[in-house]
Amino acid sequence: MLEISELNVYFIDDFNYLKFFFKNNKYSKIFILVDKNTNKYCLHLIEKYINEFKLIKIKDGEENKNIDSCNIIWNNLIKNNADRKSLLINLGGGIITDIGSFCASTYKRGIDFINIPTTLLAQVDASIGGKCGINFKNIKNSIGLFVNPRCVFIIKDFLQTLSKREYNSGFAEMIKHSLLKSKNDFEDLLIKYSNLTIVDIYNSVKIKYEIVKKDYKENGLRKILNFGHTIGHAIETLSINKKNRLLHGEALIIGIICELYISHKVLDTDINLINYIIYKLIKMFGYFDINSYSIKEILEIIKNDKKNFYENINFSLMKDIGNFAYDINVPEKIIKESINYYKNLN
Ligand code: GLY
């Protein structure tokens, strides 16, 4: 079995392994947190391995990653007399693991929690790095902390529960990780697209792990993990009110393409390399129509981005595959150009 032992992250192909973990466990009570989807599609795949548990359900969606959902979780824990020796298992995508981790680590000053990410996106991104929290007053992740789960189970069999769009959304984060690492990793991943193994997932998480290990609290290097996210996040936020809402990874691919363009303009990154990567990304993920997204609105969201300080708009950019820079100030004019560049790619 593959693992990142320092963080107790276990990579397994199927659900059977869970029976060894939950047998003779030391917990006084076990709670499982789910949303509508993981209750329907994922819970039955693991529940037989856990003798007795209480279920906590919250609404799905980014709009419910808020204090109301925390109230539901904390109320359930209190109502069922959860004590310091209780365990919360967070079964779901990044929203469930973020909010569940936050509630567990604040309940009675912190109880154990385990994350079982059920989407490819959560397996390769939210699974490690210790970020947890909620949105508050419409500001994404504005309340939260860094805290690591007792352990994480990354189970490949959950990929079967995903739609193609959900799968691609996670694959987009894997592509970003591969660009942070090496040309070989990027090329290799493109070939493996429809045939991902647990080793590929492990390799992707390992790229993030090596970065986070050096800068857990995101004071510097960790910011390179935000590549593609400054514009991607703004587009994702705007898409909430559109007819065709974009998934995180879809917005991320748009963001990566825009930020590759910016990398060329600001860091003089080789244009042939930029064109090559963009060609591969469009071929793999297709083109997302963002013609109805106004550049003014995109810029407004970017200006509120957490990476900005002293009123500058800062990006993480690519000098070469495997070589990134962070805290790069980019003039508004070039950001606008990059969005127009994307719009005209079709
Ligand atoms: N998702 C980026 C990070 O964990 O830092």
Q: What is the CATH number for 114?
A: 3.40.50.1970
Q: Which residue has the higher pLDDT, 86 or 303?
A: 86
Final residue before a domain boundary, out of 121, 140, 161: 161
Among 68-77, 89-98, 118-127, 304-313, where is mean pLDDT lowest? 304-313
Q: How many domains does the chain have?
A: 2
- 168 plus 292 within the same structural domain: yes
CATH of the domain at 293: 1.20.1090.10
- 178 plus 320 within the same structural domain: yes
- 139 plus 197 within the same structural domain: no
Final residue before a domain boundary, out of 161, 186, 211: 161
Per the CB < 8 A criterion, the answer to whether 14 and 157 are in contact is yes
Average pLDDT for residues 207-232, to the nearest whole number? 97
pLDDT tens readout for residues 44-93: 999 999 989 999 999 999 889 999 999 999 999 999 999 999 999 999 99
pLDDT tens readout for residues 81-111: 999 999 999 999 999 999 999 999 999 999 9
Tokens encoding 119: 């989407």
- 185 plus 196 within the same structural domain: yes
Residue 6 annotated as catalytic: no
For residue 176 and ligand 1, the question of a CB distance below 6 A is answered with no
Q: Cα(256)–Cα(224) distance, rounded to whole angstroms?
A: 12
β pairing state of 2-4 and 54-57: unpaired
**Percent above pLDDT 70 for the chain:** 98
Final residue before a domain boundary, out of 161, 189, 208: 161
- 296 plus 309 within the same structural domain: yes
pLDDT at residue 309 in the model = 58
- 213 plus 141 within the same structural domain: no
- 64 plus 122 within the same structural domain: yes
pLDDT at residue 71 in the model = 98
Q: Which of 171, 169, 138 is nearest to 241 (CA)?
A: 138
| pTM of the shown model | 0.95
Q: Cα(300)–Cα(108) distance, rounded to whole angstroms?
A: 39
Residue 57 annotated as catalytic: no
The CA R_g of the chain, rounded to the nearest whole Å, is 20
Catalytic residue among 233, 264, 265, 307: 233
Tell the residue number behind the tokens 């990780």, with chain if given: 177
Q: Cα(212)–Cα(8) distance, rounded to whole angstroms?
A: 15
Q: Which residue among 226, 227, 248, 326 has the greatest number of ligand 1 atoms within 8 angstroms of its CB, and so is best to mutate?
A: 226
Average pLDDT for residues 238-263, to the nearest whole number? 95
Average pLDDT for residues 273-295, to the nearest whole number? 96
Among 30-44, 125-139, 288-302, 305-319, where is mean pLDDT lowest? 305-319
- 151 plus 276 within the same structural domain: no
Tokens encoding 117: 């990410």
Residue 1 burial by Cβ neighbours in a 10 Å radius (0-12, 13-18, 19+):
exposed
- 209 plus 293 within the same structural domain: yes
Tokens encoding 173: 């984060």
- 135 plus 174 within the same structural domain: no
Per the CB < 8 A criterion, the answer to whether 237 and 302 are in contact is no
For residue 128 and ligand 1, the question of a CB distance below 6 A is answered with no
pLDDT tens readout for residues 5-45: 999 999 999 898 888 888 878 899 999 999 999 999 999 99
Q: What is the span of the domain harbouring residue 107?
A: 2-161
- 111 plus 223 within the same structural domain: no
Per the CB < 8 A criterion, the answer to whether 138 and 126 are in contact is no
For residue 166 and ligand 1, the question of a CB distance below 6 A is answered with no
pLDDT of residue 307 exceeding 70: no
pLDDT of residue 117 exceeding 80: yes
Average pLDDT for residues 202-230, to the nearest whole number? 97
pLDDT of residue 306 exceeding 60: no
pLDDT at residue 308 in the model = 54
**Percent above pLDDT 90 for the chain:** 87
- 168 plus 154 within the same structural domain: no
Residue nearest to atom 2 of ligand 1 (CA): 225
Q: Which residue has the higher pLDDT, 179 or 306?
A: 179
